[in-house]
Amino acid sequence: MNTKMNRTLKKLLLSVWILSITSLWAVAENYPYRSDVLWATVPNHADWLYKTGEQATVEVQMYKYGIPVDKALVTYEIGGDMMPADAQGNVTLKNGKAVIPIGTMKQPGFRDCRVKATVDGKTYAHHVKVGFSPEKLQPYTSLPADFNQFWEKAKTEQAAFPLSYTKEHVAKYSTDKIDCYLIKLQLNRRGQSIYGYLFYPKGGGKYPVVLCPPGAGIKTIKEPLRHKYYAEQGFIRFEIEIHGLNPEMSDEEFKEISTAFNGGENGYLTNGLDSRDNYYMKRVYLACVRSIDLLTSLPEWDGKNVIVQGGSQGGALALITAGLDQRVTACVANHPALSDMAGYKAGRAGGYPHFFRNSVDMDSPAKLKTMAYYDVVNFAKQIQADTFITWGFNDDVCPPTTSYIVYNALNCPKEALITPINEHWTSSDTEYGHLLWIKKHLK
């Protein structure tokens, strides 16, 4: 072996060793992530659910270095989901534990208990939400009489523009099992487009297709290979962005664009909200339908299965696409955004982007009218495909109130995975479980 090859091999072995050690460190991390203090909150109902009128309590536990914190004062505030506190108090930990009365609710919904304690000069916070008959929650948002006609007209206008896209092989995201292609998909005659990574199994054949819309923000497609197991296990998967920005741009470029064009006063989710015809998200929703056009045009499609899957804004877009496009045969959504957005007018949580919490000029007849044409709950009522939704209770981005409202609005075959402890995240096991669920619902 020559010297140059020997040096190369040594560098490779060193890289593998470092990667192995890093992986071990990652596995060794525990909850809470790199914190000396652990909170545990244990409602007196194991599933964190109560009937309206039932009294709820939560045992709070606090540990430092795994040792119960004794005699620390815990202050708490309690209020409705995403609502101001209407009760407060304090308890003292004994052997690391104390019980807090949460109270009850006369109407379906959630109570949120937020706790704080100072230990060795540092303040730590946590919260827990419990539900009261949430299966009875109904949307504030009503269905416009011409909702279906509005969207059928929009789809018909888009369908008049021929399917057009470019396709470029991406070696860095291809493996011995899958091939990746960068797609630029034209949307309309105005020259607007979106980009996405299209993943194929290697070896040829006919496959189900999966559309994966993105979470909120103006950003690149993060970790394109994170869900490579779809293509490895026989699915064609299309991960898209929605703003017409090439995902091969650098993170710095995306950050500059997001800062310039997605501020609180001019963010894309408020752009054109005064008009149902000019709202920014109209193009986005139709882009998802056009993505289905692309996927079902592929000669490798199995001719039967069309799946949509995503989380947060992506979960909203998955449900919206399933409601818009009857070609969809299965839908998977995590904690969907854009759900019962005007719910704050009912005195309870509304959906992300929380227009009525974050802005003072959203409560206008024109904006409220537009929201109804773009709200997930109204698309959920149209869905016929098998649907699976998962959400957590402690989520303050897409609160459990709105996830329940969407689930309750579904009239199709449906299943739910409820993970109370989760905030705005899903575990790797849960995400892999989506694939397993999809496999069971193939046509």
pLDDT in tens, 58-115: 999 999 999 999 999 999 999 999 999 999 999 999 999 999 999 999 999 999 999 9
- The predicted model scores a pTM of 0.91
Taking alpha carbons only, the member of 88, 92, 69 closest to residue 77 is 88
- Residue 268 pLDDT more than 80? yes
Q: Residue 3 above 90 pLDDT?
A: no
The single residue listed with the structure tokens 């909120």 is 216
59 touches 97 (CB < 8 A): yes
> Vertex 9, ends 3 and 13: CA angle to 5°?
145
Can 312 be counted among the known catalytic residues?
Answer: yes
Q: What percent of the chain has pLDDT over 70?
A: 91
Q: How distant, in Å, are the alpha carbons of 15, 78, 334, 389, 415 from that of 311?
A: 33, 28, 4, 10, 16
Whole-angstrom CA distances from 257 to 64, 80, 250, 253 are 42, 36, 11, 6
Task: Write out pLDDT tens, residues 381-428.
Answer: 999 999 999 999 999 999 999 999 999 999 999 999 999 999 999 999
Q: DSSP string of 121-140?
A: TEEEEEEEEEEESGGG---S
Predicted confidence (pLDDT) per residue in 330-386, tens digit: 999 999 999 999 999 999 999 999 998 866 678 899 999 999 999 999 999 999 999
- The backbone region for 51, taken as left when phi is positive above 0, alpha when psi lies in -120 to 50, beta otherwise, is beta
- Examine the residue annotation and report whether 112 is marked as an active-site residue of this protein: no
pLDDT band at 272 (very low <50, low <70, confident <90, very high): very high
- Model pLDDT, residue 34: 78
| pLDDT at site 262 | 81
- Give pLDDT, residue 315: 98
pLDDT at 125 over 80: yes
pLDDT-derived band at 222, boundaries 50, 70, 90: confident
| Mean pLDDT, the chain, whole residue set | 91
The answer to whether the peptide bond before residue 224 is cis (omega within 30 degrees of 0) is no
Contact between 58 and 100 (Cβ < 8 Å): yes
Predicted confidence at residue 25, as pLDDT, reads 36
Q: How far apart are CA 21 and CA 7, in angstroms?
A: 21
Q: Which of 126, 127, 243, 424 is catalytic?
A: 424
State yes or no: pLDDT of 197 exceeds 60. yes
Please, which pLDDT band fits residue 17 given cuts at 50, 70 and 90? very low
- Go through the domains of the chain in sequence order and give each one's CATH number: 37-136 (2.60.40.1930), 147-440 (3.40.50.1820)
The confidence score (pLDDT) of residue 13 equals: 34
Q: Is 395 known to be catalytic?
A: yes
Cα separation of 152 and 298, whole Å? 24
pLDDT score recorded for residue 22: 36
Q: Out of 112, 340, 375, 395, which one is annotated catalytic?
A: 395
User: Is the pLDDT confidence value at 30 over 70?
Assistant: no
Among residues 312, 335, 434, 441, which one is catalytic?
312
